[in-house]
Structure 1
Amino acid sequence: MKAQKLWRRKEKKRDNTENVQVPRSMQPSKATRTITMVALIAIALYFLLPVWWLFVQTTKSYSQMLNTNTLWFADGNHIVDNIKEVFTYDGGDFPWWVGNSLFYSITTAIIGTLVSLACGYAFAKFRFPGKKTLMGMIMLGMLLPAALLTIPLFFFFSWLGITNTVWSIIIPCSVSPFGVFLAIIYCTTVPDEMIEAARIDGASEIRIFFTLVMRILSPAVVTIALFIFVGTWNNFLLPLVMLRGKSLLPVTLGLYTWQNYKAEILTSQVLTGSALGVIPVVFLFLALQRYWRAGLAQGSVKS
């Protein structure tokens, strides 16, 4: 009975807060609403028009791309022929490149998320010498563009003898200063009392991290993993510098090699491959959207 009364009070309080109207003095004017709406429509068109253009071009042959309206379909749909050409051209390298991209992205997402959360947990819940210095280095790593480190990494990996291997992609992409920064914010939401109770029960720090912290921060895990996955999938300069030959190329660099062919015009194949290469990322975002939103909300509020 007491639980039901408390629940009814909470529901009544929530209904009252939802019915509260914003005072007229705080409401935006009609001009402000109009300007905001126009700006939002312009921003939406800025992001959606290239996607629409890419989708339209995948339905055309190369001659139709040159002679028809660039934002509308032509007579005769060639999307099936374009897809077949993408999967069979040059010995069927495209599926292999997609597999490479999935391998790089999934591996770095798993390793990078574990490393980021472990570092974030240590920064948020422990005191150790040099903590402020290391935190400053993480902030500096967020400010430095990744392209600036590509050439130094190439010389370093060349000295180690791991260029033109999967490790030359996995190791740099698994280290994410931004992921560590997000993990620090997320780990501050974990109650200290819960960690202390686990320690009193005799749980080790490793067990607390994997069985307690990781479960509490499951939305944060998805958020960080998505950032690292997408960053690795879209990475172009690092594979361009590190890899040689076609067997290890990701899909972004593989399509670039097609675009640079001088003997043939492969615009249709490159554009269709680009559209197909976006599908795994879109599917991943749609499948994990609920966890991603929860992770962003969790990192924005400290309990």
Structure 2
Amino acid sequence: MNSITSTGRLSPAGAVFRHAVLLVTATLMLAPFVWMVLLSIKPPGEIFRASFWPTQFHGVENYTKALTEAPLPRYLGNGLIVCTLILSLQIIVCAPCAYALAKLRFPGRDLLFGMVLIGLLLPQQVLSLPLFILGYQLGILNTYAALVFPYVVSPFGIFLFRQFFKTVPDDVVHAARLDGLSELAIVLRIMLPMALPAIVAFSIFSVVGHWNDLFWPLIAVRDQSLMPPPLGIMAFKNGEAGNDYGPLMAASTLVVLPLVIAFLAAQRWFVEGLTGGAVKQ
């Protein structure tokens, strides 16, 4: 039976099926986070029980231990510093590069864009050894710079901004040039304000990716005072008694919470920024 009516709308059966699929998918995605929050308020004796809701509320103890046993506020502050530096430098570097690929004509432009696409395909782990050697030669290992410099140039950021800049009419750029603006001034005063949805969308991707990054910080830093949140919460591991799961889940909840709040606050611009580059003028 066809699930689409003659008017182009889903039939009732098709709408029910679509919502059922979305509901099941959402449940599967949210279940680990719900379970994490529930474990964060359970006492140690109930961690491995199959009960959904704890019989004894132990949230105050777990969250207090998460904030005091390890310097979790310090880890969160490190994450904020690193993500802010990375995002700021990425926008500063990626926006002019994307503008050049979208609006300027020069030999080798398509080749450079192809290299950007290749960069999108390379996993981070492939470059970890060359980046580690470079960081050692520059003497920046075990510093904030070591956590920032591998991500300053973002192929995804260049691609996303280029796609958005392509939707800006060329007449706008020509008018700005007639007014005497330089190419850099066009990027800063015209293109970036118009690309605010794309900036918000890219910011969500960038902050989430680097806030949750464990692989590179595990290689680049050793000092506990420099550890970002994912690396810092490993301090709850006890070599004799195993993992202290209640405070560990409490710390994980506190680490995830800022990302959830940021996404909920910016979801409208996030969707607009991702779909804006798909509109062809």
TM-score norm. by structure 1 comes to 0.85
Counterparts of 1:27 and 1:204 in 2: how far apart (Å)? 49
Aligned length in residues: 277
- CA distance, structure 1, for counterparts of residue 13 and residue 6 of structure 2: 15
CA distance in 1, matches of 2:222, 2:280: 47
Contact 2:40–2:248 under 8 Å retained in 1 = no
CA contact (8 A) 2:197 2:269 kept: yes
Contact preservation (8 Å) 1:219, 1:294: yes
Higher normalized contact order (CA 8 Å, seq sep 6+, divided by chain length): 2
Instruction: Name 1:58's counterpart in structure 2.
Output: 40
Alignment partner, residue 26 of structure 2: 44
Tell me the distance in 1 between the aligned counterparts of 2:75 and 2:267.
26
User: After the TM superposition, which residues 87-98 of structure 1 pair with which residues of structure 2 at under 5 Å, given as runs?
Assistant: 87-90=67-70, 93-98=71-76
Distance of 1:151 and 1:257 partners within structure 2? 25
Q: Deviations over 1:24-44 (max 9, x none)?
A: 385556665554344323211
d(CA) in 1 for partners of 2:171, 2:10? 44
Matches of 1:67 and 1:38, distance apart in 2: 30
Distance in 2, matches of 1:62 and 1:182, equals 46
Percentage identity across paired residues of the two chains: 34
Indicate the residue corresponding to 2:57 in structure 1: 77
Match of 2:147 in 1: 169
Deviation at 1:225, TM superposition (A): 1.7
Q: Is the 8 A contact 2:5 2:11 kept in 1?
A: no
> Where do 5+ consecutive residues of structure 1 fail to align?
1-21
2:66 match: 86
Equivalence for 1:8? none
Task: Label 1:120 to 1:262 Cα distance change in 2 as closer, same or farther (>3 A).
Answer: same
The change in CA–CA distance for 1:195 and 1:229 in structure 2 (over 3 A counts) is same
State the structure with more CA Rg: 1
User: Deviations 1:192-223 (Å, cap 9, x if unpaired)?
Assistant: 11111111111122221111111111111111
CA displacement at 1:68 relative to structure 2: 4.9
From 202, 205, 208, the equivalent of 2:186 is: 208
Residue number among 227, 236, 240 corresponding to 1:263 in the alignment = 240
C-alpha distance in structure 1 between counterparts of 2:169 and 2:159, whole Å: 19
Distance 1:133 1:164 in 2: 36
Report whether the alignment pairs 1:291 with 2:273.
no
Matched residue type, 1:171: F
Q: 1:23 to 1:200 in 2, by over 3 A?
A: same
Aligned to 1:197: 175
Amino acid at match of 2:55: D
Structure 2 residue identity aligned to 1:139: L
Matched residue type, 2:198: A
Q: Which residue of 2 aligns with 1:228?
A: 206
Structure 2: which 5+ runs fail to align? none
- Distance across 2 between alignment mates of 1:126 and 1:178: 19
Q: Measure how far apart 1:112 and its partner are.
A: 0.9
CA apart distance, 1:302? 2.4
Match of 1:24 in 2: 6
Q: Which residue in the other structure is 2:85 paired with?
A: 107
Instruction: Give the whole-Å Cα distance in 1 for the aligned partners of 2:272 and 2:15.
Output: 29
Amino acid across the alignment from 1:39: V
In 2: Cα distance, 1:294 partner to 1:36 partner: 23
Q: Is 248-257 or 34-43 further displaced after alignment?
A: 34-43
User: Deviation of residue 49 (structure 1)?
Assistant: 0.9
Judged with a 3 Å threshold, the aligned counterparts in structure 2 of structure 1 residues 191 and 249 are, in CA distance, closer, same or farther, namely same
3-state secondary structure, aligned to 1:24:
coil
Counterpart for residue 181 of structure 1: 159
SS at 2:239's partner residue? coil
Partner of 1:6: none
Question: Counterpart in 2 of 1:247?
Answer: 225
Alignment of 1:112-127 (within 5 A): 112-127=90-105
Runs of 4+ in 1 over 6 A off after TM superposition: none
TM-score w.r.t. the length of structure 2 is: 0.92
Partner Cα separation in structure 2 for residue 284 and residue 50 of structure 1: 20
Aligned residue type for 2:252: S
Where does residue 151 of structure 1 map in the other structure? 129
